[in-house]
Amino acid sequence: MAEKLKLNRVPMDKQAPEIRRQNPNEVASGYTYEQAVGEAKRCIQCKKPGCVPNCPVNIDIPGFIEAMAEGDLPGAAKILYATNSLPAICGRVCPQETQCEQTCALGKKGDPVAIGRLERFMADWARENQEESGVGKISLPKTTGKKVAVIGSGPAGLTCAADLAKAGHNVVMYEALHLPGGVTAYGIPEFRLPKNIVQAEVDYLVNVLGVELRLNQVIGRGATLDELLSDGYNAMFLGIGAGAPMFLNIPGENLNMVYSANEFLVRLNLMKAYLFPEYDTPVKIGKKVAVVGAGNVAMDAARWAVRLGAEHVYIVYRRTEAEMPARMEERENAKEEGVIFKLLTLPTAIIPDDHASVKAMQCVEMELGEPDDSGRRRPIVKPGSEFILDVDMVIPALGTRPNPIVARTTPDLETTRYGTVVADETTGKTKKDKVWAGGDIVTGAATVISAMGAARRAATDMDAWLRNCS
């Protein structure tokens, strides 16, 4: 299709760093129609595509890109939505560079096809052109009469709910918070994933696929799993994520101006504290902020701190940039916005001021030793390297573990010592009758797309089981 191989991808416009430091709006503006079609035409339509098997939900990537290259946007939308119910989210937050784009044939000689950007373009176009795209007019099969409870409305829950609704089952989705979306609502910032897009993806499930959404339902504290099952549900999917924050366990961590990344992000993303006092929830911001950790959540917290007006924002990490779990794109964005990486640095104590707030953070320098269990070189304390980092706010972003509420109230749900639920890797089936699980509640904190992949596999197994159960 392409006359000559185009080695460079079409660039995407971004807000300049000095501008985006001062607003909460999305950083990357997305492709125009011309840019999208131009990029789609770079795809060489491999006979055996490398991209599809490396996508956790196996989107027909060459298929939708070919339709785009031919200018057939409704056709492309149809192919995309057939395998992915949340393309506007995935196109923005998937780590494409380690998945579909990593195995793109063009990547051997030049840039891989910008699959994520094309997915985002298609999803945005389909949402903004409901009539023409036809994604709102899906015809659902005759109802099976089977009732399924999906617990959690994050990426896993949304995917499982969509797949089961498309298969004709009656799906009720339970969400603990007052807004749906799970981590896409409370965790991922507006400047990476606008909240109106999350709402639109949820609306699609509710309005088009007929999923019933019940908010403010803290399952485990309110109804238990067993109560729901005896209430007439034939099967249940647990997609409750890993929402409980971890702390450093160092002195001073309960001081004021120490926020878990979760708290900081919930205040900003879910409660819109950046619009206080128009919105009622406040958030504090220091002049010098240390975010401890180097995952995507740490980058999100650091970049919010920049936007709230902090003068110095540090990412404090005990290893080097090579070991950082955050996506390259987010690391680059953070650096462009002025976030300073304090590498090979381990906090040992947070020092209080006279008002029980943060005065400074005591740290030690690290060096890398032999590889550990994760295959990354183990950081070791450099003797005598203690120093004081001058900060007045500390945000531990050390990852999250599963919230224990459901496990505590479901004795026969087998869990690991990390609090994750034990489930079959290929089917998502837990040890408890009629209950499947997928996403962070099974794996511990991971990515949106891996949760969606697990949810899709569980939905397939659940569908087969539901069709045979009486």
The binding site for other proteins (CB under 8 A) comprises: 22-24, 176-178, 186, 215-218, 221-223, 243-245, 247, 253-254, 256-257, 259-260, 262-263, 266-267, 271-272, 274-282, 284-285, 307-309, 355-356, 403-405
For 75, the 3-state DSSP assignment is: helix
| Cα–Cα distance measured from residue 302 to residue 120, given in angstroms and rounded to the nearest whole number | 25
- Phi, psi of 28, deg, nearest 5: -95, 135
- Closest to other proteins by CB, 31 vs 186, is 186
- Closest to other proteins by CB, 106 vs 266, is 266
Which tokens is 356 given?
């029980």
Interior angle at CA 189, CA 187 and CA 195, nearest 5: 95
- In whole angstroms, the minimum distance from the beta carbon of 92 to other proteins comes to 22
Residue type, 421: V
- In whole angstroms, the minimum distance from the beta carbon of 276 to other proteins comes to 7
For 202, the 3-state DSSP assignment is: helix
- In whole angstroms, the minimum distance from the beta carbon of 71 to other proteins comes to 40
- In whole angstroms, the minimum distance from the beta carbon of 395 to other proteins comes to 11
- In whole angstroms, the minimum distance from the beta carbon of 270 to other proteins comes to 8
- In whole angstroms, the minimum distance from the beta carbon of 280 to other proteins comes to 4
- Closest to other proteins by CB, 125 vs 274, is 274
- In whole angstroms, the minimum distance from the beta carbon of 368 to other proteins comes to 30
- Closest to other proteins by CB, 267 vs 331, is 267
Residue type, 226: D
Q: How many Cα atoms occupy the beta-carbon half-sphere of 40 within 13 Å?
A: 26
Q: Which H/E stretch holds residue 157?
A: helix 155-166
Rounded alpha-carbon distances, angstroms, from residue 158 to 85, 444, 450: 8, 18, 13
- In whole angstroms, the minimum distance from the beta carbon of 384 to other proteins comes to 30
Other Cβ atoms less than 10 A from the Cβ of 16: the count is: 10
Beta strands in 96-142 (DSSP E): none
Rounded alpha-carbon distances, angstroms, from residue 315 to 267, 321, 334, 412: 20, 10, 9, 41
- Closest to other proteins by CB, 96 vs 262, is 262
Which tokens is 419 given?
């609090």
Residue type, 58: N
Q: How far apart are the first and last CA of the chain?
A: 51
- In whole angstroms, the minimum distance from the beta carbon of 136 to other proteins comes to 25
Other Cβ atoms less than 10 A from the Cβ of 24: the count is: 17
Which residue(s) pair with 291 in the sheet?
315, 395
- Closest to other proteins by CB, 99 vs 260, is 260
- Closest to other proteins by CB, 202 vs 223, is 223
Which residue(s) pair with 365 in the sheet?
345
- Closest to other proteins by CB, 281 vs 348, is 281
- In whole angstroms, the minimum distance from the beta carbon of 243 to other proteins comes to 5
- Closest to other proteins by CB, 123 vs 248, is 248
- Closest to other proteins by CB, 138 vs 246, is 246
Which residue(s) pair with 314 in the sheet?
290, 340
Interior angle at CA 101, CA 97 and CA 107, nearest 5: 105
Determine the angle formed by the axes of helices 73-83 and 61-69, rounding to 10 degrees. 170
